[in-house]
Amino acid sequence: MKKLFLSVVAAAVFACLPANADGPEYLPKWEKGYLYIHNIGTGQGDCTFMVLPDGTTWMVDAGDVGNATGKNPAWFHTVPDNKKTVGEYIVDYYNHFSPTPGELDYFSLTHFHVDHTGSPKTALPGEHGYARSGITLVGDLIRFHKMVDRAYPSYDFPSREKIFKECSLMKDYLAFVEYQRSQGMQMERFQVGSKKQFALLHDPKPYAGKFEVRNIVANGEVWTGKGMQTRKMYSGDISLFDENMNSCGFLLRYGDFVYYNCGDLGSGNYKNFKSQERDFESFVADLCPHVTLVKPDHHGWRESSNAKFLMATRPEVFVFMASNRQHPYAGTMRRLADPLVYPEPREFYTTTDAARSHLGDELWGLFKPTGHIVVRVHPDGRHYEVFVLDIFSDDYRVIYHSGIKEVRVDGKK
Ligand SMILES: [Zn+2]
Report CA(140)–ligand 1 centroid distance (Å): 22
Q: How far is the CA of 44 from the centre of ligand 1 (A)?
A: 10
For 19-40, how does the pLDDT look when each residue is reduced to its tens digit (9 = 90+)?
556 789 999 999 999 999 999 9
- Per-residue pLDDT at 275: 82
Residue 1, pLDDT > 50, answer no
| Full DSSP string of 250-266 | EEEEETTEEEEE-TT--
Ligand 1 centroid–CA 327 distance in Å is 10
- What spacing in Å lies between the alpha carbon of 48 and ligand 1's midpoint? 13
Which residues, other chains included, contact 8 with Cβ-Cβ below 8 Å and sequence gap of 6+?
A: none
pTM: predicted TM-score of the whole model, two decimal places? 0.94
Q: Kindly give, in sequence order, each residue whose CB lies less than 8 Å from that of residue 23, ignoring residues fewer than 6 positions away.
A: none
* pLDDT of res. 21: 64
- pLDDT for 236 equals 84
- Predicted confidence (pLDDT) at residue 256 exceeds the cutoff of 90: yes
Non-local CB neighbours of 350 within 8 Å, separated by 6+ positions: 319, 320, 321, 322, 327, 328, 367, 370, 373
Per-residue pLDDT tens over the stretch 36-78: 999 999 999 999 999 999 999 999 999 999 999 999 999 999 9
Average pLDDT value over all residues in the chain = 93
Element (H or E) spanning 223, and its range? strand 221-223
Distance (Å, rounded) from C-alpha 189 to C-alpha 247?
Answer: 12
Residue 21 has a CB neighbour count (10 Å cut-off) of: 9
Annotate 137-151 with b (16+ C-beta within 10 A) or e (fewer): bbbbebebbbbbbbb
Look at strands 398-401 and 372-377 and give their pairing: unpaired
> If pLDDT is split at 50, 70 and 90, which confidence band does 381 have?
very high
Side-chain half-sphere CA neighbours of 337 within 13 A? 17
Q: Could you give the angle at the alpha carbon of 99 between the alpha carbons of 63 and 126, nearest 5°? A: 40
Ligand 1 mean position, distance from CA 355 (Å)? 15
Q: Which residues contact 25 (CB under 8 A, 6 or more apart)?
A: 18, 19, 397, 398, 401
Q: How far is CA 387 from CA 244, 343, 371, 397, 407, in A?
A: 29, 24, 9, 10, 16
One-letter amino acid for residue 315 of the chain: P
DSSP string, 132-191: BSTHHHHHHHSEEEEEEESSTTT--SS-HHHHHHH-TTHHHHHHHHHHHHHTT-EEEE--
Cα–ligand 1 centroid distance for 22 (angstroms): 41
What does the pLDDT read at residue 6? Answer: 43
CA of 117 to the centre of ligand 1 (A): 9
The pLDDT tens digits of the residues spanning 292-340 come to 999 999 999 999 999 999 999 999 999 999 999 999 999 999 999 999 9
Q: Reduced to 3 states, what is the DSSP secondary structure of residue 392?
A: coil
Q: How confident is the model at residue 214 (pLDDT cuts 50, 70, 90)?
A: very high
Sign of the Cα torsion 367, 337, 319, 220 reads negative
| pLDDT bracket for residue 14 (50, 70, 90) | very low
pLDDT of amino acid 234: 87
Q: What are the tens digits of pLDDT across the range 139-152? A: 999 999 999 999 99
Residue 99 has pLDDT above 60, yes or no: yes
Instruction: Tell me the residue type at 389.
Output: L
pLDDT of 268 = 83
Is the pLDDT score of 412 beyond 80?
no
| d(CA 40, ligand 1 centre) in Å | 14
Question: What percent of the chain is predicted at pLDDT more than 70?
Answer: 94
Q: What's 206's DSSP letter?
A: G
CA of 229 to the centre of ligand 1 (A): 27
Cα 47 to middle of ligand 1, angstroms = 10
pLDDT(18) > 70:
no
Q: Dump pLDDT digits (tens) for 160-173.
A: 999 999 999 999 99
Instruction: Give me ligand 1 centre to Cα 17, in Å.
Output: 40
- Across the range 120-136, mean pLDDT stands at 97
Which band of pLDDT confidence, cut at 50, 70 and 90, is reported for residue 378? very high
The bridge status of strand 383-389 relative to strand 405-406 is antiparallel
Find the 144 Cα to ligand 1 centroid distance in Å.
22
Q: Per-residue pLDDT for 158 more than 90?
A: yes
pLDDT confidence bin for 111, thresholds 50/70/90 = very high
Ligand 1 centroid–CA 329 distance in Å is 13
* b (16+ CB within 10 A) / e for 167-189: bbbbebbbbbbebbeeeebeeeb
Q: How many angstroms is it from 210 CA to the middle of ligand 1?
A: 31
What is the whole-number distance in angstroms between the Cα of residue 321 and the centre of ligand 1? 9
- Separation CA 132–CA 318 (nearest Å): 31
CA of 61 to the centre of ligand 1 (A): 10
Q: What band does 17 get if pLDDT is binned at 50, 70 and 90?
A: very low
**Quick one: which of 383, 377, 324, 378 has its CA closest to 351?**
324
- The alpha carbon of 326 and the centre of ligand 1 are apart by a number of angstroms equal to 12
Q: Compute the distance from residue 5 Cα to the ligand 1 centre, in Å.
A: 58
